[in-house]
Amino acid sequence: MTERIMEGKEEKKEKTLLYPRYHLSKLSHLVTCLVELTNECPFSCIHCDITKVYREKENVLSKHELTQLFYTLRKLGVFKVVLTGGEPFAREDILPIIQEAIKNGLSVLLLTNGWLVTDVQVRQLALLPRLQVSVSLHGFAEEHDAITGVPGSFERAINAIRMFKKHGVTTRTMTSVMRMNYPCLDAFTKWLTEKEYLDYRLDPKILGDDTIRSLRLTDSELVQFYVRHSILPRLFLKWKYFGENVFLPDIPNCSAGRTLISVSATGKVMPCLSLRTVLGDIRRTQLQDIWSSSELLLALRTRLNNERWECANCSSLGICSSCPADAWQETGSWLSKPTECCRHLAAIERASETIRLPEVNEMCRR
C-alpha cells in the first residue's frame, strides 16, 4: 500500500499492511464483556429505552450464575468486564457481584447514575483493586434533572462522585450529548475539569427509535461539537493527508463480535448492547461455544470480505466507526450503510477545516 505524505513537497512511502484481510477471523480475541445486571432503574432518561423496551425484572441472572460467567470470562482470557443496567445499585447483591468479578482477575468498569449509592458501599468498593466507576452526568442540575426525569438526580450524582473520589475510587463522568444539554456543554466541561477535577467522556451518538433520534444534535451543532470537544478532526487530518489510520489497518473498526460481546440481565448473548440480536443464552449454551460458532459474529469479524456490506469499499473506513448497530436500528440490517455514521464523518471533516495549517505541519513532524 502506498501512502502519500504532504509536507512542502510530495514524498512516497511504501507500507505493508500488518493484518491481511484473510486473517481477520484469527484476530478476534474476546477482551471486554458488557454485562447488564438488571433492567431496573429509578430514572426514565429521555434517551434510554432499556426500562421501556426490556421490562423483564424477574429471571435475571443470579449472583451464582454471574460468578460462573466471570469464571468463564477468565478462562477465555477476558481483560475487562463492564457492569451496567438498568442501574447496577438497584441490586442488593451488587457488592458481592463486583467482588466476584475482581476475584476472577477481571478489571471492572461500573456504570451508575449515582442515585442509590451509599457511603458504606463506597468504602467497601474502595478496598477493591482494578475498579473504575463511571457516573452518568448530563449537564448542570437543570439539564440533568430534565433528562433523567427525576428532580434532585443531579445533586445525588454529584454526591456519589464526591464519595467515590473521597475514598480513592477512580471515577469519571459520562455525558450523552443531545440538543437539550448542548448549550451548556462548554461551561459544563470547564466546571468538571476546573472545579471538580474530573475526567469525563462525551458521547454525541444517540441510538434508539425515532423519538430518541429526534434528540440528536443538528448538523451545525455536531460540527461545533467536534471543533470544541473532540480530537477526531485532528486524527481525520492525519488519516487524510498522512495515511495514518485511526484504527488498525484493514480491520473492521467496530469491536462488537471481534473483541467485545454483551450479556443481558437474563443471560442473552448479543454482539453489543446496541446491536441486540440474540446469539444464544448462557443458561443453555457455553459462552465460548457462542463466541466461536456464531454465524453473525463470524460475519461481523470478516465483513470487509462481504460484498453485501455497503461500507466495504468506502474510502473513509480508516476514520469511520461504521457502526453496525446504527445500521441495524436504521434499516433492520447491519449490512446497510449507517447514515448517522456518515453524518458524523461529514461533521468531523468540516470541523477539520477549522484547523490551521501550522497545526497540520506540526502533526506531520510527529
pLDDT of residue 191: 96
Confirm if 43 and 115 have CB atoms less than 8 A apart.
yes
Largest CA distance in the chain: 66
Taking all residues of the chain, what is their mean pLDDT, rounded to a whole number?
86
Confirm if 204 and 177 have CB atoms less than 8 A apart.
yes
Q: What is d(CA 30, CA 261) in angstroms, rounded to the nearest whole number? A: 7
pLDDT of residue 51: 56
List Cβ neighbours of 364 (8 Å cut-off, separation of 6 or more): 5, 6, 7, 241, 242
pLDDT of residue 358: 63
User: In the predicted model, is pLDDT for residue 324 greater than 70?
Assistant: yes
Strands (E), the chain: 2-7, 9-14, 32-36, 80-84, 107-112, 131-136, 170-176, 199-203, 260-263, 268-270, 280-281
Distances 351 to 220, 232, 234, 263, 342 between C-alpha atoms, Å: 10, 9, 9, 36, 14
Which comes out higher in pLDDT, residue 181 or 14?
181
pLDDT of residue 322: 85
Strand partners, 9: 7
Consecutive H or E run containing 117:
none
Give all strands of the β-sheet with 260-263 in edge-to-edge order: 199-203, 170-176, 131-136, 107-112, 80-84, 32-36, 260-263, 268-270, 280-281
Q: What is d(CA 196, CA 347) in angstroms, rounded to the nearest whole number? A: 30
Q: What angle do CA 179, 272, 53 make, to 5 degrees?
A: 65
Q: Sign of torsion, CA 114 118 121 123?
A: positive
Strand partners, 204: none
pLDDT of residue 126: 97
Helices 357-365 and 232-242 meet at what angle, rounded to 10?
70
Q: What is the pLDDT of residues 11-54, one digit of tens each?
A: 333 333 333 333 444 456 899 999 999 999 999 999 987 755 55
Residue 170 corresponds to which cell in the numbers above?
A: 477512580
Q: What is d(CA 44, CA 362) in angstroms, rounded to the nearest whole number? A: 46
List Cβ neighbours of 273 (8 Å cut-off, separation of 6 or more): 34, 36, 84, 262
Range from 164-173, 184-193, 331-340 carrying the lowest mean pLDDT:
331-340
With 0.75 as the threshold, say if the pTM is over it: yes
Range from 79-88, 98-107, 268-277, 350-359 carrying the lowest mean pLDDT:
350-359
Which comes out higher in pLDDT, residue 58 or 228?
228
Q: What is the pLDDT of residues 282-317, one digit of tens each?
A: 999 999 999 999 999 998 888 877 888 888 888 777
User: In the predicted model, is pLDDT for residue 122 greater than 80?
Assistant: yes
Q: What is the pLDDT of residues 219-267, one digit of tens each?
A: 999 999 999 999 888 888 877 776 655 554 444 568 888 899 999 999 9
Averaged over 70-95, what is the pLDDT?
96
Strand partners, 111: 134
Q: What is d(CA 131, CA 121) in angstroms, rounded to the nearest whole number? A: 13
Residues in the chain: 366
At residue 56 the predicted structure's pLDDT band, cuts being 50, 70 and 90, is: low
pLDDT of residue 231: 86
At residue 134 the predicted structure's pLDDT band, cuts being 50, 70 and 90, is: very high
User: In the predicted model, is pLDDT for residue 6 greater than 80?
Assistant: no
Q: What is d(CA 366, CA 364) in angstroms, rounded to the nearest whole number? A: 6
Which comes out higher in pLDDT, residue 187 or 248?
187
pLDDT of residue 52: 58
% of residues, the chain, pLDDT over 90 = 63
Averaged over 314-331, what is the pLDDT?
84
Q: For the beta carbon of residue 172, count every other beta carbon within 10 angstroms.
A: 17
Q: What is the pLDDT of residues 189-228, one digit of tens each?
A: 999 999 888 899 999 999 888 888 899 999 999 999 999 9
